[in-house]
Structure 1
Amino acid sequence: MDADAALVEQYLEHVRVGKRLAARTVELYALDLAKLAENARAAGVPLVRVQPAHVRRWVAQMHGAGRSGRGIALILSGWRGFYKWLGLHGKVDSNPVQDVKAPKSPRPLPKALGVDDAMRLADHVDPDADPVLEARDAAIVELLYGCGLRVGEVVGLDVQAGSAARGWIDLDAGEAHVLGKGSKRRTVPVGKQALQALREWLAVRGPLAGTEPALFVGRGGRRLSAQSIWLRLRRRSAQAGLATPVHPHMLRHSFASHVLQSSGDLRAVQELLGHANIGTTQVYTRLDFQHLAKAYDAAHPRAHRRK
């Protein structure tokens, strides 16, 4: 056994016995350290002579080969622990992995419904449901999709405006006043369909809510929780025949994506969503590009391969 292999084996024994890590974790460490030893061998340096420049080059090679930033970060974590152990035993003067970072992974695209699926959910009516609860759920869906509200903003709505109210709907003005992240207030326009759904809910809400100030209440007459909306929406999307279970934030993403597709106005979408930073809103331009790419593939003659 050469010197590098002996060091790796000693370290694996340390994490297996001294740190009592799970067998699967030790196995993953062994794979990562085998890759490290292979890289060092190819570079012609022993493990104890590896420099930060070597590690950065190997990171670039892994990234170029398609490994994700998260995967590289996990590998670097294993290498960093190995060199920390070598340092504690006087084998190296410094940790060559200490200041090396993995490439940032791209921000995942938010999940948004297609326009047809969103409309199917908004138009869905459950004939077997309690008509009062059906009116409530329809109004909630309209606010989530039609206004892009967060679920926390929806549950915080009160029936009437007031200094103690976190949010409320001005039916006459067609506006929702909500308290968003960072306790920032914003005003969002409420569309005709949402206003109609809200009026239908308010017409039957009284006997269920009593003196409760919350706009949306459950069977017991208390303010509806965010978890209840999650569960009701998941059930409603299944009843509407959607292939993907829908959660409240998916409707917010759908709102942003569909408004951007129609208007192309990124600043307006930023204001409607209440984003402090335009960079947060820009992720929806990637969804918009996907929409355009699909339209191109479906319609443009040059998008079709010749047989």
Structure 2
Amino acid sequence: MTGVAVLIDVPAFRESLPAAVAAAAERLLHDGAVARPEAVGGGARSVVTDGGDRFEPWVGVVDRALTGDCDCPAGAGDDGLCAHAVAVALAAFEDGIRFSAAGIPHGDDGDDEPDRADYRRAVESLGPRQLTELVVDQALRDRGFAARLLGRAGLLGGPPPTGLADAVRDASNVTGGGRWEIADVELAGLRLVAETEIVTVWPATVEMLDLVEEAIEVWDELAGILVDAWEVRRTDPEDVTEPLLAAHRALCERLELDSAEIESRIGRLADRCDFVPVT
């Protein structure tokens, strides 16, 4: 757990920065070198491009102090924040990202630390070319990974892909005609999850939220089939329900909808769903 949110005094934070660090951070922001930050580990993380190099700083509150964690060779400044971390902090403040009173750099809470440590050692043992080839090969095989990769690098271009809209249409028709099996229902649900995970890598929009709500409604009809088919199904309804609802909650937060609109949307969904526990 990352604790309760804290209020950051942004003007005071700016005044506390060394002049050189502040100037470098402002230059990075002015040049568009900072990708849109994401809330991670009770703080914020982003990709920063500086002089042809890419860094992934995290910034958050640790031991009651605003702290940066960056992989740049320059290291931290006098206050523990390099220019890359400062730029991410300023971008996060601008986006309204809320900071926790007990941040965890890069969201590493230690729940799977043994696995993470093994993977980190493996990555650190590879040369840049080997690591690049592995990442590119994985991106070519996995569209979800490819979207996350481009998002982290700040290289997402154009509108979100249409895969989720296609998946919603196909799921709504999966039992509509001809012969179908429980496996068809399961595959339709898993495709909804996969396409939702891809599309939500893009900046959040109301249209995206509307589409995820449509996906939830379509899945509700199919979830009832899986509930009745408990003896033969291989996929539990929750395996689709939970990630779809999590995406809906995350989009509402990213869009910073007020509580009244969120309640209205949840109410409409709840009225239309019998098997998806919308709350």
Question: If the TM-score is normalised by the length of the shorter chain, which range does it land in?
Answer: under 0.3
Q: How high is the TM-score relative to the length of structure 1?
A: 0.20
Structure in which a larger fraction of residues adopt helix: 1
